[in-house]
Amino acid sequence: MEFRQIQYFVCLYEEGSVTRAARRLNIVQPALSMQIAKLEEEIGKALFVRNPKGMEPTSEARRMYRLFLPVLGDYARAREQVLQTTSELSGQVRIGMIESLAQGVLVDALLEFSDRHPKVELSLTDGFSGTLTDAVSVGQLDAAIINKPRRSLALMTEPIAEEDLLLVTGPNFAPMPDSVPFKQLADIKLVLPSRRHGLRGILESFAEAEDVMLQPSVELDSISAILILVGRSDFGTVLPRVAVRGPLQRGEVQGYLLKAPRVSRQLICVTHPRRPLSPAALAFVSTLIKHIRAINDARMNSQPND
């Protein structure tokens, strides 16, 4: 089993097409097919089944992918550090983050980082905290910034910030005091993320502790869609400050602190304990964290509906 064959296998697994995989590897299709055939012959099992949608991986292929993806990641990071002979960073960085952060800080952090380190290739994704954690565990992502879960993780965690969750309403909603008791959520027509979403889990934890029944009229996982709905209706929602920073500043929505108790979430960065971040990945994560903390610090000097 050659290292090149593993590279070809992982690429075909991710692309799901011989044509796309060969193009990504910059080789001809017969060469790719031949190496995959040799690999299948050596292990004595089929790795892919051709169907109208492309190359579908078998159960053995899925097992191999989980085993070898971290190996390729380790190789790429080691290669980057060996070749890092100047202060200019390079290589590929794969980072995940929850959608509410992507909405609020990603663009600013991306523009700053890309201007300073133009040779770094960034692959960024958003998703649910659990999905991103799994991706870091198997080596699909270098790091992820997520909501701190209630369960302990088998990953390295770095606390980033604690952030208020706000009651958010639109122009059609009657004005409220700057602070709203948490129990009052039970009387508001709410649109909230579904229970798959980390934010909903945080809210349910507070509701359980305060004996409050949260019964949203609508469940919607897209933060941007929630904000559009709230802005055009008499729905209310509960979202982190960073996700509504722009709409608050433009006066499209109003934000109110929740009290009795104060409702907040904790943000953490997760990485794999056996796969240290490359210099490029560490630099980008540091840039993201700086922007997150800057927004969090700014809240100390302003009201949520300023």
For residue 298, the model assigns a pLDDT of 64
Asked, for residue 167, whether it belongs to a domain, the answer is yes
Mean pLDDT of the chain: 87
Three-state SS for 190-253 is EEECCCCCHHHHHHHHHHHHHCCCCCCCEECCCHHHHHHHHHCCCCEEEEEHHHHHHHHHCCCC
Q: What is the DSSP letter of 182?
A: G
Pair (101, 142) in one structural domain: yes
Domain count, the chain: 3
pTM: 0.70
Helix (H, G, I), strand (E, B) or coil at 92: strand
Residue 62 has a CB neighbour count (10 Å cut-off) of 12
Q: Are residues 151 and 290 in the same domain?
A: yes
Instruction: Render pLDDT for 26-38 as a digit per residue (tens, 0 to 9).
Output: 888 888 889 899 9
Do both 169 and 194 map to the same domain? yes
pLDDT of 220 reads 94
User: Is residue 273 in a domain?
Assistant: yes
In a shared domain, residues 278 and 131: yes
Q: Is the residue at 247 inside a domain? A: yes
| Residues 145, 95 share a domain | yes
At 238, the pLDDT band (50, 70, 90 cuts) reads very high
Same domain, 38 and 186: no
* 306: in domain: no
CATH number for the domain spanning 51: value is 1.10.10.10
- Is 13 in the same domain as 136? no
Mean pLDDT of 264-277: 89
Q: Does residue 39 lie within any of the structural domains?
A: yes
- What is the distance of C-alpha 47 from the center of its chain? 29
List the domain range (segments joined by +) for residue 50: 3-67
